[in-house]
Amino acid sequence: LAVGRGSAKEPKFIILEYRHPEAKTHLGLVGKGVTFDTGGLNIKTQGMHHMKSDMGGAAAVLGATQVIADLKIPINLTTIVPAVENAVDKDAYLPSEIIASHAGLSIEVVDTDAEGRLILADGLSYLIETYKPDQVIDMATLTGSAVGTFGYECAALFSNDSKLSETIQNAGKGIGEKTWPLPIWEEYAKEMDSEIADIRNYHGKPIAGAITAAKFLQAFTHEHPSWAHLDIAGVAFADTDFAKTKSGTAFGVGLLLKFIENQL
């Protein structure tokens, strides 16, 4: 609600439920659905015309849900997409503002361009508290830091479950949707400490941006034991054989499908 305040378009909280009578496991998916990102009052100074791609994570989990349902795969699946436009007007949320969250944590807004993690926080918290899935995976075009680390070759992978992480990596290798793990050690969580709120949304430093973003998200997972975060900023929107300009790659759809199939 805070992120969407500056937009003429009302934000949406999309929930899809797929259930199969023979399912033995319940997977929860969350996708970042920023339909366009100006950066808010911390306005972007370059590349803004590519920000129609900031809903790549949402597109991936929605696409995967559609495929899984069409194929009638024996799994229970709950998919959540917080959808919002980060725009600028007189009502736009402010740097320095303290906002609330579904999890009950107060958040100090340091940078309005770190908005994806704010909507994912509510998506993750609501999914885990309401549906209690066995595994949780979120996908997001979250940080330039992930692009700085891996370029346009693979997604940054963060997980508190080594088996889940390994299964995701193996699923991607076979279909060309590569992921590579980065650490989420507790030392990084200190970077998100706030003096006036429970947590801040950005540490304000040009280092470890993808990792600190992942640590922010983890704070809203209610200590779920099997969670993975995929930062797909470098692989969701690229030069392809199917268009003359950059276009959506559908990265994550095949990965999620293969991940599920490998566990059946």
Query: Looking at 9, 12, 24, 44, which residue is catalytic?
Result: 44
Torsion over CA: 119, 74, 236, 159 (sign): positive
Query: Looking at 32, 117, 200, 215, which residue is catalytic?
Result: 117
The amino acid present at 248, given as its one-letter code, is G
Torsion over CA: 231, 236, 239, 241 (sign): positive
Give yes or no for a contact between 32 and 58, defined as CB atoms under 8 angstroms apart. yes
**Cα gap 116→138, rounded to integer Å:** 12
Give yes or no for a contact between 228 and 158, defined as CB atoms under 8 angstroms apart. yes
Examine the residue annotation and report whether 132 is marked as an active-site residue of this protein: no
Examine the residue annotation and report whether 52 is marked as an active-site residue of this protein: no
DSSP 97: -
Residue 18, classified by CB atoms within 10 Å of its CB into exposed (0-12), middle (13-18) or buried (19+), is middle
CA distances from 239 to 56, 242, 246 (A): 15, 8, 5
**Cα gap 50→25, rounded to integer Å:** 37
Catalytic residue numbers?
44, 117
